Structure 1
């Protein structure tokens, strides 16, 4: 069972302002819940329509009806499990001295951000630095698209221009992804520093491009004007770690 006040509270977390107010977010789906448990992520409450042995020993597990799940889910087709989590605690080194960080400038599509986080997890990139106007990482569509990688990849929001200036002042390489830079296939791939991916439609801002120490592009063989940001991220990271 789930009471009316809990239903109201969980439904409020579908909106960013209430997530920020309560410092909580929701995660849906049995696979995602298994990821939460496997990564020892704190759980405020767990609701399921099934008697799953993995859940039953949790102190805050609640068995509910499918109709009740439909009232709290943010999905068009609700799954069998929903977890209520506190905001994630993240600690990271602000300067990527011996590793590669990913920087995101004004990424707006939640699916893109979630897929980028998942791609970073695949390639072992542990830190993503986002501009303050990038879509919120706790957006339910971001969480779903990350497929659990949100629990292994640190995602931070900063004044990206100020952050890049700090990197440059510390002699840390900044690689800007553009349509006019050097081909990533013909030059040394970025192994450490910051790799910047720009907005889906307009790319990197001119201010950020002015700070970049290197510009890289993916060679185009066909007629498309641009690549999806998440696809471009995967291609650049593949060259970074396999060249």
Structure 2
């Protein structure tokens, strides 16, 4: 069974300051936990019910030192979900580094102050689907290890390298005449008419304010996703994760 100290630790990890302090994060649910374990994420400890253990071989086949079998009542005490899962993993936060060669020769996403956890998690899933290996986040972007972000990634967090950095310095570091910096703007060129490259940064802005002024100045290729019929008034702009999906799909379509 879980000790009082373990319950206190796990519940504290719902706050960023304690995730930073302990360098740990929590993942809940069979698919998410299983995907992280398969991706060789380092497990601090694994908590599960007897029923989960009997139905899932990963707990038996994987070498995990700290395993805790408990009951549904204790799971409820530590879960951040309305309907608690039958397995919870506490994982170590690994340090992320840039693969400069990969970055210079492929597409990467750059997120300029994306604040909604669901949006960040969905964008990570989108990147994974379209084979984008790097996402760079401004320092004000929502924390990767926020429980809502983790849930929204549906395990894709193990496949995409998410790095928090000064994105202005990052862009200046890689920006060259042959390395385009893409961004979406109302005054941009219609994306369906553009010849898109296989490398560069795709910048996605804040949900309410879009791409910040200092980053706008660094964009070399302004793109526009038109509504239909083109030019007709619509109620509101696209959600940032939806826009990311459309843009990534169009970039990959160019490769077929």
CA contact (8 A) 1:181 1:217 kept: yes
Match of 1:123 in 2: 130
Q: 1:177 to 1:190 in 2, by over 3 A?
A: farther
1: CA distance, partners of 2:204 / 2:114:
8
2: CA distance, partners of 1:45 / 1:207:
43
Match of 1:228 in 2: 239
Match of 1:54 in 2: 58
SS of 2:208's partner is coil
1: CA distance, partners of 2:155 / 2:210:
27
Deviation at 1:177, TM superposition (A): 1.3
1:19 and 2:23 matched: no
1: CA distance, partners of 2:253 / 2:235:
25
Deviation at 1:89, TM superposition (A): 3.4
After superposition, residues 75-90 of structure 1 pair within 5 angstroms as 75-90=81-96
Deviation at 1:53, TM superposition (A): 3.2
CA contact (8 A) 1:167 1:173 kept: no
2: CA distance, partners of 1:141 / 1:171:
37
Aligned-pair Cα RMSD in Å: 1.5
Structure 2 unaligned regions, length at least 5: none
User: What is the TM-score with the length of structure 1 in the denominator?
Assistant: 0.96
Structure 1 unaligned regions, length at least 5: none
CA contact (8 A) 1:129 1:157 kept: yes
1:142-180 CA deviation, whole Å, 9 max, x = no partner?
A: 000000000110000111112112222575210011122
After superposition, residues 15-164 of structure 1 pair within 5 angstroms as 15-49=15-49, 50=51, 51=53, 52-57=56-61, 58-94=64-100, 96-164=103-171
User: What is the TM-score with the length of structure 2 in the denominator?
Assistant: 0.91
2: CA distance, partners of 1:72 / 1:170:
51
More deviation in 160-169 or 194-203?
160-169
CA contact (8 A) 1:13 1:19 kept: yes
1:184 and 2:188 matched: no
More deviation in 157-166 or 49-58?
49-58
CA contact (8 A) 2:97 2:163 kept: no
SS of 1:211's partner is coil
CA contact (8 A) 2:13 2:19 kept: yes
2: CA distance, partners of 1:118 / 1:224:
27
Q: 1:142 to 1:72 in 2, by over 3 A?
A: same
